[in-house]
C-alpha cells in the first residue's frame, strides 16, 4: 500500500505539480483492490471536472504502476479503482506478516492499566481494563515500542481507612494474631465485605465517620514512620499482601503479560505532596477553605481539591506524584493511561494541573477510557454494593456457560471467549457481557476463531504437497482469500494508530468468513492446485494466529 500510495503521489506531482498525500482506501471487491477519491479533491482546486482529472491521472498511473496493476478504471463521480495483478497481490499476501506498523519504533511507551486498589474487591470493570490494557500494550509493542506495563493502586487513602476500621472492628480490636482465623480461600471475600461495611458506616454513622477519618491519618503515618511492627501496622501490611496475592490469582488465570512494575500509591504520595506545595508557592495551586485546590475553571474545566483541609493529599495529588515518577524514571515518549470513563473529566483536570508544572510529560500523556461492564440484562456492576460481580465471577460464568454447551471447552477456550467478548466492541462505550454468547460455538466469538485456526492447521497436516513459495496466479476463490489476507497490515496499522483492538476482531472474523467461503467450493488436498492452495491456507492460519495473539488469545493447533 505504501508503494502504491507513493506512486500515486508522484503521479499527481508530475501531472499537476501538486504535492499532496492522496487517500488510498480498500474498496469493495467488485470495484477493485484499492480506490482513491483524489480526483474529486483535486477537481475543486483545479476547477475542472472530476472525471476528467481522474482520466488524466489514471493514464499516468497505469504507466507508473506497470505490471503491478492489472486494471485501472474510473467509476461513479470520479473514483479511480486499482486492481492489482495476481503476482502483486500474491506478493502482498505472502508478505502480510512481515509488514508491521512502525509507529513506535525506538520509542518508550508506558501503559498503565488494571489499577486495582488493595482492600477492595476486583470487580468486573477490573477484568475489562486488564484485558483491554494488555491488548493495547501488545499493539504498541508490535509497532516497535519499548513497552512498560504499569499497575497503580491505592494502598493509602480513605477507602483503606474504611476497610481498616471495619477490619479492626471485625477482629474485636487491633489484634493481628486473629487474622490467622480467616481461611486463605475466604480472604478476598472477607476484605471485600469489610470494605463494604466500612463504606456503609462512613455514610450512615457520624461517629464511625469521624473514626475513619482518624484511621486515614494513621494509615498515612504507617508509611511516613515506616511502621511495620505496631499491631495496627501488622494488620495493614498483612491485608495489603493478601490483596496483592489475590490480584496475582486473577492475572494468572487471565494469562495476561505480567506487569513490569506495580506502583503503590504510598510510594508516589511524598513526591506529589512536595510538588503541590511548591506549586502553591508559584501560584499553580491556591488555598480555598483550608484546602489546596487547582482552579480548572480557568482552563474550561472544573476545580478540584488536591490537599484537603485536614492536610491529607487526595487522589489528585498522588496522580501528580505518579506522573512525575513515570517521567523521571522512564523519560517516556508516550504514556497511556486506561481507566473507566467516570475518570475522564477528573483526569483532564489532573493532567492540566501537571501541565502547569511539567508540560512535557503532560503533553505526552494519553488517557483512554472504557465504559461500564454490564451483565446481559443491563445491570451495572458496582463495588459500593455488597453483591458485587467480581472479575472472577465473570470467568466462572463463562466456565458455567461453557459446561452447559456439552462440548467441554478447556481453559484456553474459556479465556478466548471472555477476552474476545471484551475485545470486539470499540472501547469507550459500555459493554454488555453475555457469557452464553461469548462461549458460543458459532458466530463472532473467540472460540469460533480458535476453531477456524485449528481446522486450517488440520488441513495442512493432511496435505502431501509442498506449498509454493510465491503465489503468482489465482484460480476460483483463491483471489478473494489472498486479497483478504493482504489487508492484515492495513488493519494492524489502523488498530495501532487508533489504539483500538476491536479493529483486529472485525478483521479476523471477516477473514474466517472469507476462508469458509473459499473452502466450501475449493478442494485443497488432492487438487491440481494443492501446492498453491496450501500456501494460502498456511498464510491464513498464520494471520489468524498472529491476530489472536495481539488480543492475548491462544491459537491451539487442535481443540
Partner RNA sequence: GCACCCGUAGCUCAGUGGAUUAGAGCGUCUGUCUUCGGAACAGAAAGUCGUAGGUUCGAGUCCUACCGGGUGCACCA
**The one among 26, 218, 261, 364 contacting RNA by CB under 7 A:** 26
Task: Name the helix (H) or strand (E) containing 109.
Answer: strand 108-112
Residue from 58, 79, 163, 474 in contact with RNA (CB under 7 A): 79
Q: Torsions phi, psi of 427, nearest 5? A: -75, 150
Contact window for RNA (CB under 7 A) among 11-19, 137-145, 235-243, 305-313: 305-313
Q: Which of 214, 221, 248, 344 binds RNA (CB under 7 A)?
A: 344
Distances (CA, A) of 378 to 128, 206, 314, 374, 381: 16, 34, 32, 5, 9
- If one asks whether residue 262 binds RNA (CB under 7 A), the answer comes out as no
- Cβ at position 384, least distance to RNA in Å: 9
# chain residues binding RNA, by CB under 7 A: 96
Whole-angstrom Cα distance, residue 292 to residue 276?
Answer: 8
Give the residue, chosen from 126, 419, 424, 535, that forms a contact with RNA under the rule CB under 7 A.
Answer: 424
Give buried/exposed letters for 343-370 (b at 16+ CB in 10 A, else e).
beebbbbbbbbbbbbeeebbebbebbbb
Q: What are the phi and psi torsion angles at 313 (to 5°)?
A: -70, 140
Member of 58, 81, 335, 390 binding RNA (CB under 7 A): 81
Q: Which listed residue (13, 77, 359, 363) binds RNA by CB under 7 A?
A: 77
Residue 294: closest CA among 272, 268, 326, 322? 272
Question: What is the CB neighbour count within 10 angstroms for residue 557?
Answer: 13
Q: CA 507, 97, 439 angle in degrees (round to 5)?
A: 40
> At its nearest, how many Å lie between RNA and the CB of residue 503?
6
Out of 147, 266, 335, 431, which residue is the one contacting RNA (CB under 7 A)?
431
CB of 185 to RNA, least distance (A): 26
- The correct pick among 46, 358, 441, 531 for binding RNA (CB under 7 A) is 441
The DSSP bridge pattern shows strands 365-370 and 373-375 to be unpaired
CA nearest neighbour of 359 among 324, 411, 401: 324
Site residues for RNA, window 309-328 (CB under 7 A)?
309-310, 312, 314-315
- Chain centroid to Cα 14, Å, comes to 43
* Whether the Cβ atoms of residue 239 and residue 167 lie closer than 8 Å to each other: yes
At residue 509, φ and ψ (nearest 5 deg) are -70, -45
Options 440, 482, 551, 555; binder of RNA; rule CB under 7 A: 440
Residues 107 and 146 sit within 8 Å (Cβ to Cβ): yes
Kindly state the smallest distance separating residue 421's Cβ from RNA, in Å. 9
Task: Give me the phi and psi of 70, to 5 degrees please.
Answer: -90, -30
C-alpha cell at 255: 494469562
Q: Indicate the helix (H) or strand (E) that contains 153.
A: strand 146-153
Nearer to RNA by C-beta: 189 or 341? 341
CB of 158 to RNA, least distance (A): 4
CB of 184 to RNA, least distance (A): 26
Q: Which residue in the set 458, 466, 470, 475 belongs to the binding site for RNA (CB under 7 A)? A: 458
Scanning residues 487 to 526, which ones bind RNA (CB under 7 A)? 494, 500, 502-503, 506, 509, 513, 516-517, 519-520, 522-525
Judged by CB under 7 A, does residue 209 bind RNA? no
CB of 361 to RNA, least distance (A): 20
Quick check: 373 binds RNA (CB under 7 A)?
A: no
In this chain, which of 1, 20, 64, 372 binds RNA, going by CB under 7 A? Answer: 372
Shorter beta-carbon distance to RNA: residue 57 or 440? 440
Sites for RNA among residues 180-199 (CB under 7 A): none
Q: What 3-state class would DSSP assign to 163?
A: helix
Closest CA relative to residue 537, chosen from 518, 556, 550, 555: 518
Q: Does 218 bind RNA (CB under 7 A)?
A: no
Q: Which of 193, 432, 468, 531 binds RNA (CB under 7 A)?
A: 432
Assess 2 for contact with RNA (CB under 7 A).
Answer: no
Amino acid at each position: 500500500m505504501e508503494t502504491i500510495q507513493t506512486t500515486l503521489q508522484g503521479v499527481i506531482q508530475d501531472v499537476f505539480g501538486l504535492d499532496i498525500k492522496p487517500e488510498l482506501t480498500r474498496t469493495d471487491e467488485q470495484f477493485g483492490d484499492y480506490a482513491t477519491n483524489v480526483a474529486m479533491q483535486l477537481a475543486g482546486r483545479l476547477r475542472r471536472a472530476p472525471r476528467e482529472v481522474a482520466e488524466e491521472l489514471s493514464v499516468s498511473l497505469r504507466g507508473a504502476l506497470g505490471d503491478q496493476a492489472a486494471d485501472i478504471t474510473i467509476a461513479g463521480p470520479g473514483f479511480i479503482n486499482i486492481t492489482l495483478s495476481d503476482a502483486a497481490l500474491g506478493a502482498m499476501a505472502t508478505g502480510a506478516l512481515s509488514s508491521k506498523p512502525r509507529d513506535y519504533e525506538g520509542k518508550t511507551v508506558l501503559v498503565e492499566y488494571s489499577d486495582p486498589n488493595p482492600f477492595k474487591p476486583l470487580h468486573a470493570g477490573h477484568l475489562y481494563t486488564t484485558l483491554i490494557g494488555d491488548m493495547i500494550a501488545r499493539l504498541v509493542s508490535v509497532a516497535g515500542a519499548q513497552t512498560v506495563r504499569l499497575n497503580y493502586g491505592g494502598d493509602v487513602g480513605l477507602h483503606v481507612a474504611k476497610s481498616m476500621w471495619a477490619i479492626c472492628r471485625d477482629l474485636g480490636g487491633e489484634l493481628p494474631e486473629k487474622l490467622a482465623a480467616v481461611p486463605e480461600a475466604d480472604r478476598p471475600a472477607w476484605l471485600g465485605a469489610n470494605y463494604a461495611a466500612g463504606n456503609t458506616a462512613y455514610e450512615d454513622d457520624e461517629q464511625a465517620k469521624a473514626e475513619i477519618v482518624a484511621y486515614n491519618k494513621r494509615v498515612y503515618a504507617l508509611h511516613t514512620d515506616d511502621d511495620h511492627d505496631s499491631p495496627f501496622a501488622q494488620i495493614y501490611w498483612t491485608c495489603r499482601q493478601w490483596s496483592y496475592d489475590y490480584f496475582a490469582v486473577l492475572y494468572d488465570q487471565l494469562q495476561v503479560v505480567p506487569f513490569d512494575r506495580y506502583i503503590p500509591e504510598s510510594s508516589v504520595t511524598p513526591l506529589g505532596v512536595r510538588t503541590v506545595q511548591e506549586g502553591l508557592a508559584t501560584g499553580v495551586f491556591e488555598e480555598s477553605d483550608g484546602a489546596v485546590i487547582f482552579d480548572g475553571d480557568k482552563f474550561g474545566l472544573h476545580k478540584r481539591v488536591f490537599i484537603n483541609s485536614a492536610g491529607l493529599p487526595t487522589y489528585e495529588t498522588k496522580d501528580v506524584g505518579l506522573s512525575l515518577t513515570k517521567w523521571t524514571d522512564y523519560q517516556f515518549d508516550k504514556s497511556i493511561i486506561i481507566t473507566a470513563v467516570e475518570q475522564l473529566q477528573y483526569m483532564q483536570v489532573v493532567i492540566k494541573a501537571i501541565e502547569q508544572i511539567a508540560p512535557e510529560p503532560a503533553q505526552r500523556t494519553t488517557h483512554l477510557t472504557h465504559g461500564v461492564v454490564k451483565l446481559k440484562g443491563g445491570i451495572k456492576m458496582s463495588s459500593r454494593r455488597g453483591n458485587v460481580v467480581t472479575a472472577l465471577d465473570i470467568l466462572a460464568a463463562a466456565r458455567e456457560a461453557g459446561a452447559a454447551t456439552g462440548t467441554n471447552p478447556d481453559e484456553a477456550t474459556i479465556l478466548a471467549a471472555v477476552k474476545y467478548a471484551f475485545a470486539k466492541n470499540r472501547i469507550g462505550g459500555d459493554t454488555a457481557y453475555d457469557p452464553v454468547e461469548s462461549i458460543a460455538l458459532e458466530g463472532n466469538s473467540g472460540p469460533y476463531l480458535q476453531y477456524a485456526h485449528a481446522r486450517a492447521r488440520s488441513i495442512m497436516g493432511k496435505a502431501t504437497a509442498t506449498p509454493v513459495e510465491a503465489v503468482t496466479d489465482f484460480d476460483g476463490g483463491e483471489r478473494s482469500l489472498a486479497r483478504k489476507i493482504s489487508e492484515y497490515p492495513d488493519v494492524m496499522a489502523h488498530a495501532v494508530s487508533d489504539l483500538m483492538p476491536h479493529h483486529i476482531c472485525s478483521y479476523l472474523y471477516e477473514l474466517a468468513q472469507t476462508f469458509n467461503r473459499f473452502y466450501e467450493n475449493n478442494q485443497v488436498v488432492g487438487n491440481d492446485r494443492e501446492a498453491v492452495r496450501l500456501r494460502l491456507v498456511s498464510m491464513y492460519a498464520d494471520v489468524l494466529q498472529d491476530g489472536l495473539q495481539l488480543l492475548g488469545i491462544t491459537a491451539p493447533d487442535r481443540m
